[in-house]
Amino acid sequence: MRISKVETFILQAPEDDRPHWVSHFIVPRANELLIRLQTDEGVCGFGLATCYSTVEPVVKAINSGVTGEVVGCDPLSPERVYEKLFSLTAKRLAHEKGWSRDALLKISAAVDLACWDVIGKTAGLPLYQLFGGYRDRVPCYVTCAYYRDGKDEAELRDEIQALKSQGHRGFKAKVGGLSVAEDIERLEIVRDVIGEESDLMVDANRAWDLQTATEAANRMTHVQPRWLEEPVRWQDDRRELKLLSQRTSIPLSAGESELTSYGCRALLEEQAIQILQFDCTMFGGFTHGRKLAALCEMNHVQIAPHHDCFIHAPLVASSPSGFIVESFTDPERDPLQAELFENPPTIQDGWLTLNPDPGLGLTLSEKALKKFGTLIGC
Q: How far is CA 312 from the centre of its chain?
A: 7
The dotted CATH code for 3-124+365-376 is: 3.30.390.10
Convert the pLDDT of each residue in 272-325 to its tens digit. 999 999 999 999 999 999 999 999 999 999 999 999 999 999 999 999 999 999
Residue 177, pLDDT score: 97
3-state secondary structure of 88: helix
Residue 283, pLDDT score: 96
Query: Strands 137-144 and 351-353: what pairing?
Result: antiparallel
Domain boundaries, the chain: 3-124+365-376, 129-353
HSE value, Cβ hemisphere, 13 Å, CA-based, for 240: 19
Give me the residues of the chain with pLDDT under 50, please.
Answer: none
Against a cut of 0.85, is the pTM above it?
yes
Cα–Cα–Cα angle for 313, 26, 236, rounded to 5 degrees: 80
Query: Strands 252-254 and 275-276: what pairing?
Result: parallel
What sign does the dihedral 13-17-20-21 (CA atoms) show? positive
Whether domain 129-353 has CATH 3.20.20.120: yes
Question: Distance from first CA to last CA of the chain, Å, rounded?
Answer: 23
H/E element, 180: helix 180-194
Could you write out the DSSP letters of every residue in 122-160? HHTSBHHHHTT-S-SEEEEEEEE--B-TT--HHHHHHHH
3-state secondary structure of 23: coil
HSE value, Cβ hemisphere, 13 Å, CA-based, for 140: 30
Residue 53, pLDDT score: 82
The answer to whether the CB of 118 falls within 8 A of the CB of 359 is yes
HSE value, Cβ hemisphere, 13 Å, CA-based, for 190: 30
